[in-house]
Amino acid sequence: MEFTKNLKEAEEFDNFKTKVLKYVLYKKRTEMEVREKFKDYEISKLEDVIDFLKEYKYIDDIDYIKRSIEEFKTLKNFSLKEIKYKLIQKGIDKSLLDDYIYSHNDELLDYEIKSAKNIILKKNINMEIEEIKSFLYKKGYMSDSIKIAIEEI
């Protein structure tokens, strides 16, 4: 009887682990996203599955930061402040994010200047430069990035 009970528990755990794994494999997720999605499940089982996912790098918040920033750089014109905000919303630890930004500071500042230049060129058609500056400030661009972007155009 005990053996059957243990077998059933193991099977339930494997099914749960498979469900979480499918969720993570469908799209890269942060640890917080996994916790949020499966918050109604038994906490000890969820912790075991999260430990498994971390061990085998199915969830890795540092890798998530790197991939997300690369995606933003390729597809979007965001300020560094917007990027930080979006990643913090996904549950990325602020200190982890700050460390990543600090270690990639020059590259990210170059990106922000390039991004500001792209916006200036788009908005320059029907907006005055002061309106564009104001727009960029509101989007979180640093004043130095705005100044350099304007000078380089």
pLDDT tens column, 29-64: 999 999 999 999 888 899 999 999 999 999 999 999
> Which sequence spans correspond to the domains of the chain?
2-55, 61-152
Give CB contacts under 8 A, 24+ apart, made by 52-56: 52/17, 53/20, 53/21, 53/24
pLDDT above 90: residue 118: yes
With bands split at pLDDT 50, 70 and 90, how would you rate the model's confidence at 1? low
Do the Cβ atoms of 16 and 8 come closer than 8 Å?
A: no
With bands split at pLDDT 50, 70 and 90, how would you rate the model's confidence at 141? very high
Q: Cα angle vertex 74, ends 136, 99, to 5°?
A: 75
Cα–Cα distance for residue pair 58/104, rounded to 1 Å: 24
Report the mean per-residue pLDDT for the chain: 92
Query: What is the model's pTM?
Result: 0.84
Per residue in 4-20, pLDDT (tens digit) is 657 788 888 899 999 99
Give the mean model confidence (pLDDT) for residues 64-70: 95
